[in-house]
Amino acid sequence: MAVSLFGASVLAAIQTAPTVPPPAAPPTLQFNGPDGKPLPEDIQRQLRERYKDAPPPPRPPRAEGEVVVTGQRPRGSVIGDIPPERTLSAVDIRSYGAGTVAELIQTLGAQVASGRSREDSDPIVLLNGRRVSSFAEIARLPTEAIERTEILPEEVALKYGYPADRKVVNVVAFERYSSRIGQLSLAAPTEGGMTTTGGSASYLRLRGDTRTMVDADISRTSALLESERDVIQPSGTPLLADYRTLIPATTRFGLGGTIAGTPLKDVAATLNARFDATRTRALIGLGGDGPLRRDGETGTAHLGSTVSGRAGSWQWTATGNLDRTATQTVIDLGRTTPGTTARSVNLVANADLLVAGTAFTLPAGRATLSLRSGFATRDFEGRSDVGGVTRTNELARDTGSIQANLDLPIAGTTTPALAWLGTLSASVNAAVERVSDVGTLRTLGYGLNWTPAPALSLLVSLSDAETAPTLEQLGNPPVVVPNIRTFDLRRGETVDVPQSLGGNAALRPDDRHVLSLGATYRPIAKTDLTLSLDYIRTRIDDPIAAFPLVSPLVEAAFPERVIRDTNGRLQRIDATPLNFARSDQQQLRWGLSFMKPLGPLPPGAANANVRTFSSEEEMRRRLPPGAQIMRVEAGSPGARRYENMTSRLMLSVRHSWRLQDSVLLRDGGPTLDLLDGGALDIRGGRSRHEIEVQAGAFKRGLGARITANWQSGTTVQAAGGSAGDLRFGDLATVNLNLFANPADYIGRSKAPAWLKGTRLTFGVTNLFNTRRSVRDGSGATPIGYQGAYLNPTGRTVAISLRKVL
């Protein structure tokens, strides 16, 4: 039952489901007739009232007309019994001030990051407990349409046919919602030099499994020149700063649409399409007859579909995608010097079928099986004209795969003899992938999920997965880019040298071995305080990486990729990707999350879900028929208590402690210790410690959120002793976000219509304008490590105006 409140100072819908359900929360009772179908809702209510204190045990029908009682999990729950690490209600989400699902994922930051994933891998996002064709399908879904969001551990990914190397975020949308949203934004660094403007518009309508959405966005960023940051140039070339861009001029445009419905009984289908275009314009130096330019254009077209349904006790989901990406890069070296043109077209089509259900029954419960089969085909065409020489490259790849995950319950409520164990289950997963141009790749994994007490969850997993290089890594067209500013550790100097970019057809698949131990603890009942701890050990054989920073160890391992003149001065670098021999990482990650309302609440409402509206008309339009509406007198103590239900105080802390991070460059060759003297890129080694702290508050339409990030310093060892070393200092950045819903504060329910649904946001990125300091043995900063290179924008101020109708 949903209860709605309406008054001059408060407007909310309250649902009886708990905001943060405990891991072993009892399901809602559902009573089915002899035909297996649910009984009418009025009879359901009578039976629930009758059996609320002592529900009858579930059992199959034995006689004609017998009623069957079954347990029903919250709508939109994920497959399996692994509880969420965190559950955010609609008001929790509102307190973050994010406008879309994509912005919410970005705001959650380290809370949805995984130590098992490859660099910068985003979480897997589900909608209502189901797979989507791609993240693009729901990325622009407005947060006002979200009933709750669950953050789940990596093991849940296996149940949906994904590898267990990313967190899972389950977004559950309201059954009824409609909106038209427009937004304008403006951002600029306080040091000047560039401006970013943007606008977006969207329309959304939700009615159960029926969904219609159309959205469009456009943005433009002006170029930022080195001269606008007073970048010091190598001796004899002071004018170069006017002809080199730190950030290119960029224009982006996107248009997308999604329709979803139930074309057949018990079958839901979704179709979404999107087109994105990006154009960049950059200056890369000064030639004999004018500026040197590097221009790029990228166009991406996407078509995706999802069809899902049930067959008995089995749930199935089929997804398909078709993507075409066309890119063009033009390097203009002037009228008298031949330039470079590179074009590529990447066409990808894939289809997956996921089937999940009960395989058999054990004494502790049902053993669930998830089976995924998939096929993908990819065509890549590349063409480059370098200095008048034309090269073409055509690659194709067909991939067939099958993956299985089996969850086996060992102990639980149905095994009294093992009650001392709590709830315990095991899982095993295996996958085989046949890649036409690489061969057969295998994945094997095991896991244990143990809940010894309702407040404590423990997870253990082992996995061994082989991954093929991408077609881009294998076959990107070769391009020679001149004047790439490079720091030469061997000589301790900064030089502008050409670098060869493109693919490497000799790349081998990598083999990743991961051990993960995780714990989640909720120490205080009925309080949204969650503690987490993870230990992750990763070893990768033949890891694939971009060519690293040129150091004496790297040059000794790959002498064929570095060209010098007779005086030892750097002349050229082959920076195409390569395989290292092995990499080893160990890290410990811990965190806490806490959220609570600000002020006392009405009796019995501590665990209520709250949904806010800008007007009574909107509330009646978006709530299901039959919802009860209660009026609260403005300014009364009761109204203030209900107002507290929509307020939030939040705090989260995440700390990553790297215990080991090393790379064996070649078999029998040197090892780079990235925590002690080694580096793979210009940003130095790996920070041993990284901390993110996020705190915020929201009440009466006013919100504030502050995010602080800190990374410990590193050292990069050079040739010739410590005098040539580079020391990277600690880096601390603070971001501030303030937002206001004016109608909640000015006029409240009597605010003018044009003000209702409006949000004004003011944000400052890098509040204290900090940049990482880099010093050599003499205390000077090398030209290639000036602050403007490491962080061109510095402090940036952004303002946006958003209107929801």
Q: What is the pLDDT of residues 84-129, one digit of tens each?
A: 989 998 889 988 999 999 999 999 988 998 877 766 678 999 999 9
Percent of the chain, pLDDT > 70?
84
CB 250 within 8 Å of CB 280: yes
- For the cut 60, the answer to whether the pLDDT of residue 18 exceeds it is no
CA-based angle 640:641:646, to the nearest 5? 90
Q: Could you tell me which residue, 569 or 719, shows the higher pLDDT?
A: 569
At residue 407, the pLDDT reads 93
At residue 236, the pLDDT reads 66
Q: Report residue 696 as tokens.
A: 């915020």
Percent of the chain, pLDDT > 90?
54
Span 650-668, pLDDT tens digits: 999 999 999 999 999 999 8
**Lowest mean pLDDT: which of 495-499, 616-620, 734-738?**
616-620
Helix H segments across 323-409? none
Q: Report residue 590 as tokens.
A: 């811990």
At residue 49, the pLDDT reads 54
Mean pLDDT of 179-200: 96
- For the cut 50, the answer to whether the pLDDT of residue 439 exceeds it is yes
At residue 68, the pLDDT reads 47
- For the cut 80, the answer to whether the pLDDT of residue 517 exceeds it is yes
At residue 624, the pLDDT reads 65
Give Cα 393 distance to the centre of its chain. Answer: 33
Q: Read off the pLDDT band of 526 (50, 70, 90).
A: confident
Q: Read off the pLDDT band of 629 (50, 70, 90).
A: low
Q: Could you tell me which residue, 333 or 124, shows the higher pLDDT?
A: 124
- Most confident stretch, 173-182, 720-729, 730-739, 751-760: 730-739
At residue 21, the pLDDT reads 42
Q: Report residue 368 as tokens.
A: 């669930």
Mean pLDDT of 158-171: 91
Q: Read off the pLDDT band of 782 (50, 70, 90).
A: confident
Q: Read off the pLDDT band of 634 (50, 70, 90).
A: low
- For the cut 70, the answer to whether the pLDDT of residue 42 exceeds it is no
- For the cut 70, the answer to whether the pLDDT of residue 644 exceeds it is yes
- For the cut 80, the answer to whether the pLDDT of residue 482 exceeds it is yes
Neighbours of 556 (CB within 10 A): 13
> CA–CA separation, 475 vs 470, rounded Å?
9
Long-range contacts of 422-426 (CB under 8 A, 24+ apart): 422/450, 422/451, 422/452, 422/453, 423/24, 423/81, 423/450, 423/451, 424/364, 424/448, 424/449, 424/450, 424/451, 425/81, 425/364, 425/449, 425/450
At residue 5, the pLDDT reads 45
> CA–CA separation, 320 vs 302, rounded Å?
11
Q: How far is CA 178 from CA 143, 203, 499, 805, in A?
A: 12, 8, 52, 9
Q: Read off the pLDDT band of 508 (50, 70, 90).
A: very high
**Lowest mean pLDDT: which of 47-61, 63-77, 707-721, 736-750?**
47-61
Residue 569 per-residue DSSP state = -
Write down the mean pLDDT value for the chain: 85
At residue 333, the pLDDT reads 81
- For the cut 70, the answer to whether the pLDDT of residue 721 exceeds it is no
> CA–CA separation, 110 vs 727, rounded Å?
26
Q: Read off the pLDDT band of 451 (50, 70, 90).
A: very high
**Lowest mean pLDDT: which of 55-59, 95-99, 457-461, 669-673?**
55-59
Q: Could you tell me which residue, 392 or 71, shows the higher pLDDT?
A: 392
At residue 553, the pLDDT reads 87
pTM of the model: 0.83
